Amino acid sequence: MNDLSEQLRGLWLPLVTPFRGGELDETSLRRLLRHYLALPVDGLILAATSGEGMSLSTSELERLVAVARAEISASRRYVPICLGLSGASTRKMCDALDETAGWPIDGYLIASPYYTRPSQRGLLQHFTQLADHASWPLVLYNIPYRTAVDIDNDTLLELARHPNIAGMKDCCADRSRSIDLLRRRPAGFRVLTGEDAQYHNALVDGADGAILLSAHVETEAFAAVRTMLWEGNQAGAEAQWRDVGNLTRLLFSEPSPSPAKHWLWRIGLIDSPEVRLPMVEVSAELAAELDREIDRRAPQLLLRA
């Protein structure tokens, strides 16, 4: 088991990337990091879907990682970082792995190759070659409704035996398949759900944790669901989940991460809700709904009128 396998459990936050005036907003980034490093977050994912990674240049990615690592060091609390990488070419992905090999990260979160729709044999060879090549461990990201290709459980189980593959973010959206994977996986292969609305169910089914965009909001409450289940307090976990579960619907009512960025902007954690095209900011209707929920949950946090 590699070090990342041991760390890949609990509540991981796929951190949004703040922008202002078209540029990376380092002031807001540092504010975000200091806020979440003081909360029960077990790991950070940078520049994945929630972090608008595909809109970032290599220099922005490098700066994002450097700022995050500096803030983690200053916090005197070690929190692992996985860098999101994606692409449809195995060769180009290997080049990206080479380019980032010396960065202060702990691993990569890598989605299936989008658009090309390779076979299971192609997926097996693609991820095996990346794992052989990478200087840091891989976390596989299966999200077929975004990539148009699904990594089936037999392929995942074969990849799970690779010593440089630590686990996976499971967004297959099929609970029975996820349960089958959890029952058949080898020891040390971690499975974290990435389906925010299925967080409680996934933990009950045996997932090691979750990577949740929704945990930008009510972070401690989302972490408490996990802690209560691990402690055997099922009733407490269910009650806590009933309180925060509806947030997952609200934060995905329009394409993510725009709703979360609006929320974080309104409470003053980031200086702008800006996203990069083709993403756009939330509609006026959703903005009003988000504002009502912020006002209901924490009116003292509503800093921006």
Contacts of residue 57, defined as CB under 8 A and 6 or more positions apart, other chains included, come to none
The continuous run of DSSP H or E covering 44 comes out as strand 43-46
Task: Specify the length of the chain in residues.
Answer: 305
Tokens of 249: 């619907």
Catalytic site residue from 78, 108, 115, 141: 141
Catalytic site residue from 36, 78, 145, 169: 169
- Using an 8 Å Cβ cutoff, are 79 and 41 in contact? yes
**Exposure pattern of 166-193 as b/e (b: 16+ CB <10 Å)?**
bbbbbbbbeeebbeebbeebeeebbbbb
Tokens of 223: 């972490």
Q: Position of tokens 């999200």?
A: 143
Answer yes or no: 169 catalytic: yes
**Under DSSP, is residue 130 helix (H, G, I), strand (E, B) or coil?**
helix
Answer yes or no: 199 catalytic: no
The whole-angstrom distance between residue 169's C-alpha and the CA centroid of its chain comes to 8
Tokens of 200: 């409680």
Largest Cα–Cα distance in the chain? 54
CA distance 209 to 41: 11
Of 179, 142, 138, 183, the closest CA to residue 162 belongs to 138
CA distance 41 to 93: 29
Please calculate the CA angle 229-172-119 and round it to the nearest 5 degrees: 145
Which residues participate in catalysis according to the annotation? 141, 169
